Amino acid sequence: MSSLSGKHGPRYKHVAGDSEPYETIAVEKLTPIIGAEIYGVDIGRLVSEEAACNRQMDEIHRALAENLVIFFRDQHLTPEQHLAFGRSFGELHIHPAAPHDGDDPALMKIHADKDSPRANGEGWHSDVSCDLEPPMGSILHIRQCPPRGGDTLFASMYAAYDALSERMKLYLDGLTARHDGEQTFRGLYANYGVADKPSYPRAEHPVVRTHPVTGRKALYVNRGFTRFIIGVPRDESDAILAYLYQHAENPLFQCRFRWSENAIAFWDNRCTQHRAMWDYWPHTRSGTRVTVKGERPV
Ligand code: SIN
């Protein structure tokens, strides 16, 4: 029996409340816990006719809050439209290390091919959680897909938190952890010809954060950037983090997105982690990411 199974069904029970119907978009959930495909939106038009489509934009905001990651297919966007879509959710974040596509540093390049030593985001992480104010959300537009593979996995950190025992929730309450970009970013983009910076961001964040929009609690530690829990012996921190990572990666909290060319994924970094599968070598997968600034986690 899995540690999340109880006598009567799973110990972790997600009670999926029925949301109000949408009027300007169609929302098809991938799982009861995380992820939804959105239909009826032409993002290129939406950003050009913003005033006329405020209602649709409001519903996209709501769909993101309710589903944590949302997907749009067949979006033939120019880089300017991609940037404009990001800006309609807030100021854009500039990645501290990754290469950009073209002149605008906010348009991050996501690319792997037969010459790549690695692909972006291969381990579970929340984007740039080492920043003092980590990004609120990331909008990835994939233009070229491999024939198979290259999926992205997303996990709900609300579900991961909710499924912890009450004793573990008490233990984690009030703890903070150090997040550091140094080990992650140094040398990482050398194959793109990107020179290293003298230093990379580091920050301390609560181990459990409260989402500023939904008010829900989410686990906020990840393998990519979290180094240790502050104020406890290092061996204890290592053991607790190892448990939390393993717990957070339970497939029960996940959805998996199979890309098609010109699809978009928009995820909320405050309550999710994601992981990109690099199972398509020597094929090419290519696109751009626009990242929206966030607030200091509390
Ligand atoms: C990332 O932004 O971490 C990359 C995700 C992906 O390429 O699927």
**Number of residues that make up the chain:** 298
Place of tokens 């010809």: 193
Most informative mutation of 138, 188, 223, 279 for ligand 1 (most atoms within 8 A of CB): 138
Tokens of 92: 């854009």
Q: What is the pLDDT of residues 116-171, one digit of tens each?
A: 988 989 999 999 999 999 999 999 999 999 999 999 999 999 999 999 999 999 99
For position 16, what pLDDT does the model report?
65
Tokens of 157: 């950190």
| pLDDT-above-70 percentage for the chain | 93
Domain that holds residue 145: 26-292
Domain assignment of residue 10, yes or no: no
- The total of structural domains in the chain comes to 1
Domain assignment of residue 43, yes or no: yes
Domain assignment of residue 3, yes or no: no
Distance 239 CA to ligand 1 centre (A): 28
Domain assignment of residue 19, yes or no: no
Write out the catalytic residue numbers: 125, 127, 274, 289
For position 1, what pLDDT does the model report?
43
Distance 162 CA to ligand 1 centre (A): 25
Place of tokens 């239909």: 39
Per DSSP, 119 falls in state -
Q: Strand pairing of 208-210 and 217-219?
A: antiparallel
Domain assignment of residue 14, yes or no: no
Domain assignment of residue 4, yes or no: no
For position 195, what pLDDT does the model report?
87
Query: In the beta sheet, which residues pair with residue 275?
Result: 153
Domain assignment of residue 5, yes or no: no
Lowest mean pLDDT among 35-49, 142-156, 217-231, 267-281: 35-49
Q: What is the dihedral of CA 206, 210, 211, 212, to 10 degrees?
A: -100
CATH assignment of the domain containing 116: 3.60.130.10
For position 191, what pLDDT does the model report?
85
Report the pocket of ligand 1 as residue ranges, CB < 6 Å: 110, 120-121, 138, 140, 152, 274, 276, 289
Distance 20 CA to ligand 1 centre (A): 31
What value does the mean pLDDT take over residues 110-120?
92
Q: Which pLDDT band, with edges at 50, 70 and 90, does 200 fall under?
A: very high
Domain assignment of residue 145, yes or no: yes
Closest Cα to atom 4 of ligand 1: 121
Q: Strand pairing of 176-180 and 202-206?
A: antiparallel
Place of tokens 């390049």: 109
Closest Cα to atom 7 of ligand 1: 276
